[in-house]
Structure 1
């Protein structure tokens, strides 16, 4: 195996004790493009990871809604973190190395690390690395982790599942890594919420609002989405990301972490009990959410499932950084979709009542190719 000279990047607003980013700092490079331009390029075959969307800065009322929702459901978030943390510790104990998938997985990895430190007095290593749909995982980052923790047992962490694209990508990446390097990696993805039935390691299968889905980088350490562009990323480099220094005044990343951590003492007993119960059950996966996706694709004559983004987290992303067409909504009265309705109104996107849905909602991306051909 080739020796890596990469080092963790000094980016983001999280403490090094919480997470080390195995990313190449691209902060000084202009990678952003307008949502409209990016959408045309993506739908014309340019990979989404080669550029970045302009970070959406929400209006005051949206931020106020974020905090209101967070305070109402902070204990629910903490309980789901506790359950999945307990499961990880049951399976891997002190040998676990937390590897979160940047960027949605980063705050979740920090919360899991903090929970286990509080409950068991262990400080697990935690790295955040890049995985990109259709491009795989950052093998240089995996190589770095294994060199630092030869006896460690990697546990991949993300925020939530949608239709399972990243779960599938992770499984393929682990198979490729074994084929290339002869090392077996556990491809089970640990998440707070698994409404798509994509993994056996989850806090809940309810499709609910994970607050870190709402605010992009300002609740994720001011780190951008990850970038894999051959102009800036060499063969031996980590995948890249930017540190949005200009948003420091709006950063609430550590405030979010501390707020959830304060709930851990209240939920730890229940989390341990629920995790133990799950440990003795056979947990089915089956990617059941894809049934909804295939039906929606047929019903709305959508060219590709890539244009269908189910679940609260993914629908939020569609509204924040893609060109949305419609939002399908199972229950518009749910408290977990208030911010989605607000964003849809702001952007003039139609919200369609759609009761026959496993998820709370689903974002449909507009096809923009026809206008440019």
Structure 2
């Protein structure tokens, strides 16, 4: 019923229904359908491809520059999880940006903190909520509600953190359970997470790639093929495994674990208190100003932070890439993508993030 994607057995259990790839929707058509309200984003997939040699080189540069920092944040987050849970821990990562983080955290909890840890990866969809069938399966498999910890890579505007809180609260009410509805992340830009290792906007290398750093699993799908008792769906890009160096999933996770274990030998990194209220206010202020400055009516067309900006350039119809400072290692991949996709770039030294992407309004197409 579950499967490990391209990870080793025991690293992760994807609670997703493997679907056959039907017709893919090109990015321009998908954008029009989403913004017109005719289709929800979870009902469509755009095709993915193996990253180019140039882009894979950018990913490798990002790993060399930032893997040590990401490993330290994974170690810090694992320490916070261990401190907040007694007994066995059930990590539930949000597919798919949360999956690599969950793989690393589970191993650190076992190897550094000597804790029993199981890792599942499940779907959550904006405006549709968490996959309730997956949560029921986790509980039916003998995991206590109080052992569950939801994990993701980062927050942008905090939409998914709020979606998680609402949908898990509704699940608890319906099922008479008491699952913690908070989100644990490496970087909380929106001040919306329950627990975070950092509040900084930095380049998390796994944000650069799609399926090829997330177990060859697509973005999750919730369309007419998914029944009420089914897990949300995905496409498994097993064919990508045949391309040399294309699938970075296991290699990336192993490299982070090795770095974190070496760091743990020198003592655990201190947890820096985060000012969530200040982060939330900064997010609200920037979004309001950007909507006025760029004449945007729908806040969903603004994606702040490196991770969210990257997602737009990879799979949406970008209108503009805004950078605080061009030419820095953290935004090099964004500049490569913008060049390849002919997306205009604006420089704003007052930007509170390293990068922001704006999505093109369908009315402007």
TM-score bin, normalised by smaller chain: over 0.9
Partners of 1:80 and 1:226 lie apart in 2 by: 26
Compare 289-298 and 310-319 and name the one that shifted more. 289-298
**1:117, CA displacement in angstroms?**
1.4
RMSD: 1.8
Alignment of 1:1-373 (within 5 A): 7-8=1-2, 10=3, 12-26=5-19, 28-45=20-37, 46-151=39-144, 152-230=146-224, 232-248=225-241, 249=243, 250-268=246-264, 272-275=268-271, 278=273, 284=277, 287-288=280-281, 289-371=283-365
Would you say the 8 A contact 1:20–1:126 is kept in 2?
yes
SS in 1 for 2:319: strand
Q: Call closer, same or farther: CA 1:62–1:295 in 2, change over 3 Å.
A: same
Would you say the 8 A contact 2:191–2:275 is kept in 1?
no
Q: Call closer, same or farther: CA 1:169–1:354 in 2, change over 3 Å.
A: same
Partners of 2:208 and 2:151 lie apart in 1 by: 19
Q: Call closer, same or farther: CA 1:80–1:136 in 2, change over 3 Å.
A: same
**1:12, CA displacement in angstroms?**
1.4
Partners of 2:209 and 2:75 lie apart in 1 by: 23
Partners of 1:103 and 1:331 lie apart in 2 by: 28
Q: Which runs of 5+ in 1 are unaligned?
A: 1-6
Number of residue-to-residue matches in the alignment: 359
The TM-score, its normalising length taken from structure 1, stands at 0.92
Partners of 2:357 and 2:10 lie apart in 1 by: 36
SS in 1 for 2:153: coil
Partners of 2:160 and 2:306 lie apart in 1 by: 16
Partners of 1:350 and 1:148 lie apart in 2 by: 50
Q: Call closer, same or farther: CA 1:315–1:286 in 2, change over 3 Å.
A: closer
SS in 1 for 2:149: strand
Partners of 1:54 and 1:273 lie apart in 2 by: 40
**1:123, CA displacement in angstroms?**
3.5
Would you say the 8 A contact 2:24–2:47 is kept in 1?
yes
Q: Which runs of 5+ in 2 are unaligned?
A: none
